[in-house]
Amino acid sequence: MAGIRWQLRSGTVVLGGMGLLAAALTACSSDPDKRCVDRDSYTLGKGYRIVSDKKCKSATSFSDDAWYYGGKKKDGWVSGGSFTKPRSGSGSTGGSRSGVTRGGFGGSGKSGG
């Protein structure tokens, strides 16, 4: 009976350790979620059309192709991200939250009058 408990505990430790390793690698990834898009292809409801990464790697200042960070991908299109590369360690949430709360004392942002 003691042997079975020890085997179960060791299996739990291994699986738990693998989960922690996966989470750490995901959180500390040096390369944010990015896709090469055509800036001129924006369509309301779809976003930007995803193009080959080669186009962004060889892009000139006159190119319409650019890296797009975060966002949600669907059927060759991406939306909800940004053309601004996230700072290191900030992750890529795909949202526009800045982490700054304005307003104080309730945060409505309205002044009395």
Per-residue pLDDT tens over the stretch 18-34? 565 455 544 555 556 99
What is the SS3 assignment for 81-105?
A: EECCCCCCCCCCCCCCCCCCCCCCC
Q: Are residues 58 and 41 in the same domain?
A: yes
* Mean local confidence (pLDDT), 79-84: 95
| Residue 77: CB atoms within 10 Å | 19
Residue 99 belongs to a domain: no
Contacts with 82 (C-beta within 8 Å, 6 or more apart), sequence order: 68, 69, 70, 71, 96
**pTM to 2 decimal places:** 0.51
State whether 38 and 24 are in the same domain. Answer: no
Q: Is residue 78 part of a domain?
A: yes
* Domain presence at residue 51: yes
Is residue 51 domain-shared with residue 67, that is, in the same domain?
yes
Q: Is residue 48 a contact partner of residue 78, using CB atoms and an 8 Å limit? A: yes
Residues 75 and 52 placed together within one structural domain of the fold? yes
Please tell me the predicted confidence (pLDDT) of residue 98.
46
Question: E strands of 30-92, at which residues?
Answer: 34-43, 47-50, 65-74, 77-82
H or E, element range at 13: helix 2-27
Q: Tell me whether residue 95 is in a domain.
A: no
Q: What is the pLDDT of residue 69?
A: 96
Q: Widest CA span of the chain, in angstroms?
A: 74
100-111 pLDDT tens trace: 445 555 555 555
Domain count, the chain: 2
**Residues of the domain holding 7:** 1-30
